[in-house]
A = this chain, B = another copy of it.
Amino acid sequence: MNELIFIGLGLNDEKGISVKGLEETKSADSVFIELYTSLMPDFSLRRFEALCEKKIKVISRHELEEENGAVILEAAKKGKAAFLVPGDPFIATTHVTLRVDAEKNGIKTRIIHGTSIISAIVSLSGLHNYKFGKTVTVPFPENFSEAPYNVIAQNKKFGLHTLCLLDLKATEKQFLGINQAIAMLLEVEKKKQQGIIIPDTPAVGIARAGSDNPTLKADFIKNLATYDFGEPPYSLIFPGELHFMEVDSLIAFASAPTEFKRLAK
C-alpha cells in the first residue's frame, strides 16, 4: 500500500502517541519524524524507536521547507510512509503543504490525530472552551509585534479569553519565557495606554502542559512578571469575563489568590 500517514505524537514524551498511532508506525515501511515545531520535554528518540521497533529518520526544517519533504514523498511513492509530528499534525500549519503536495502526486494521505497543546491548555486551566476567542503567538523580542496585545484587547471587548502561545525554537533550545512575554505586553501598553495589560490584570501562566508536573499559576500580572515557572514550553492565558466556576478552578488548580473571587461575573 502506497500512502503517507501523518501521525500526531501528542505531548511531552514517547507515550503521548495514541495506541492507533503506535500501531500504524509499527506497520509502516518507512518512518520519519520532525522535532523542531514544538518541544516535547521528556521525549527520547531512542526510547521511541524501541517502543515502535523501528529505525526513524529525523527530518530537519531545511528538508521540509526548502526541499519540500522530497525524501518523505519518495518513500511514500514506494510503500507505506509514516511522518510523526509533535502534538496534532496540522495544528501548526507547516505541514499542510506537504499533504497538499502528496495528494497532487497521487499519494493517498491519512491523519492519526494526537493531543494538541491547544486543547490540553484549555483542559488544564478549567476555563470554558467556548469562551476562548482567537489564539495568538507571542514572538521573540527580535520579531516584536503589537499583534498579541491587539488580539487580547479585541477578545476582552467580547468577554473572551485569549490563549497566547509563546514562541520557541525547539532545536536551538530557545524559548520565550512567560516573564519576557509579560514585559513585552507591558511595553505595548505603555505606548497604547488602553488599560488592557496593567499590573492588576489577571492571567494564567502554564509550563509543560501534558507532562507529569505541569506548572499552572494564576495571578495578577505584577506577580506573574517575576514568577518562576521552571522548564519550558510555556503559554499564557488572559481571561476575559470569568464565571464563578472558572474562578473556582483557577483557585483549585492554578493557585489563584482568593482576590480572584472578585473577578467572577
Contacts and interface: CB of A to CB of B under 8 A. Distances in A.
Contacts of A93: 128-129, 245
A110 B211 CA distance: 10
Contacts of A110: 212
Interface in A108-161: 110-111, 113-116, 118-120, 122-124, 126, 128-137, 154, 158, 160
Contact of A120 (B88, B124, B248): B88
Main secondary structure of the interface of A (DSSP, over half): mixed
Nearest to A125: B90
Given A119-B116, A154-B158, A96 B249 contact: yes
Instruction: Pick the most buried of A99, A118, A132: most chain B CB atoms within 10 A of its CB.
Output: A118
A113 B126 CA distance: 13
Given A16-B20, A18-B10, A123-B113, A100 B248 contact: yes
A181 to B, nearest CB: 16
A261 interface: no
Contacts of A15: 18-20, 23
B119 A51 contact: no
Contacts of A17: 18-19
A66 to B, nearest CB: 17
Interface in A185-222: 210, 212
Interface residues of A, number: 59
A81 interface: no
A74 interface: no
A24 to B, nearest CB: 10
B134 A130 contact: yes
Given A96-B245, A103-B252, A115 B88 contact: yes
A231 B16 CA distance: 29
Contacts of A233: none
A132 B245 CA distance: 25
A11 interface: yes
A124 B126 CA distance: 26
Contact of A113 (B22, B111, B120, B129): B120
Interface string A88-102: 111111001101100
Interface string A11-39: 10111111110110000000000000000
A8 interface: yes
Contact of A122 (B10, B51, B90, B133): B90
